Structure 1
Amino acid sequence: MPTIKSSYLGNLRTNSEHLQSGTTLMTDAPVDNNGKGEKFSPTDLVSSALGSCMVTIMGIVANRENVELDGLTWEVTKIMSASPRKIQEIIIDFHWENPVSNTVMIQKLKNAARTCPVALSLDPEIKQTINFNF
């Protein structure tokens, strides 16, 4: 059974529906690749997925350990290579206003992030630069 149903809307724009929830999202080609850049590009979504997956797995570990991740934020920077045009590097900068003081727990969370399914699924040629600012 499909997970997502997608369609091409023209003008380098797509629409995808998550069938279980009915949630939809659109993509545009970026301005530097003949698009409007009004929505996430497909490579933006890949880069965003890395950060979201890392935090989801950190959240699973945190829940198991009764740790709150309140105040955890992150910024994603995507770097493209020109030829061939593909993601060259994804930089994720994590910030946590009030991190736990337990260094063992911090290490568990960092390990969880680095071993999330998206991180393990990306081509090894895509450099993953992860900065934990806590």
Structure 2
Amino acid sequence: MSTPHTTATARYEGHLRTEATHTASGTIIQTDAPVDNHGRGEAFSPTDLVGTALGTCILTTMAIVAERHQVDLVGSTFTMEKIMSSDAPRRIAQLTVELHLPAALSPANRALMERTAHTCPVALSLNPEIKQEVRFVYA
């Protein structure tokens, strides 16, 4: 296990908004409650960040493996859809990540990237009750 250290700090700004600071870099992000939960929806909601973390973790993990195998993924993108539960308690029910990867990837490299996508640390850390759907588009 790695040595614990503070990764982020945050401050409640009022009006259902927080401002979080990444300790090592000083990068700041804001969160806002979504419109369907009393917020203004003017920034990522905390649950949006969970879905975004899944997508960025998948891309990052695939990039690590791609570099090891000399595969170029530069320009790859994803879209993420988050579905909240309709029953109480309010929670994420499903995250769908659609990855857009280079059409030039060989069948072997496509299989490698697809295996890698399903084993990123965020995917493995999420509650198993959250349905995770990962789609691959090669264009």
Q: TM-score range by the shorter chain?
A: over 0.9
Task: Determine if contact 1:90/1:128 at 8 Å carries over to the other structure.
Answer: yes
* TM superposition shift of 1:99: 3.4
Task: Determine if contact 1:4/1:17 at 8 Å carries over to the other structure.
Answer: yes
* TM superposition shift of 1:72: 1.2
2:44 matched to which residue of 1?
40
Give CA deviations for 1:9-28 in whole Å, capped at 9, x if unaligned: 01100010001000010000
Aligned CA distance change for structure 1 residues 108 and 80 (closer, same or farther; 3 Å): same
Task: Determine if contact 1:71/1:98 at 8 Å carries over to the other structure.
Answer: no
Give CA deviations for 1:68-97 in whole Å, capped at 9, x if unaligned: 002311100000012221100000111124
Q: Which runs of 5+ in 2 are unaligned?
A: none
Matched, 1:90 2:95: yes
Aligned CA distance change for structure 1 residues 64 and 28 (closer, same or farther; 3 Å): same
1:74 matched to which residue of 2?
78
Task: State the one-letter code of the partner of 2:36.
Answer: D
Please give the alpha-carbon distance, in whole angstroms, between the structure 2 residues aligned to 1:66 and 1:48.
26
Overall identity of the aligned pairs, in %: 49
Question: What's the RMSD between the two structures over aligned residues?
Answer: 1.0
Q: Under a length normalisation based on structure 1, what TM-score does the superposition of the two structures give?
A: 0.95
* DSSP-derived class of the 1:48 partner: helix
Of 20, 34, 46, which aligns to 2:24? 20
2:63 matched to which residue of 1?
59
Task: State the one-letter code of the partner of 1:120.
Answer: L
23-32 vs 64-73, which deviates more?
64-73
Give CA deviations for 1:108-134 in whole Å, capped at 9, x if unaligned: 111111100000000000000111112
| Alignment coverage as a number of residue pairs | 133
* DSSP-derived class of the 1:51 partner: helix
2:111 matched to which residue of 1?
107
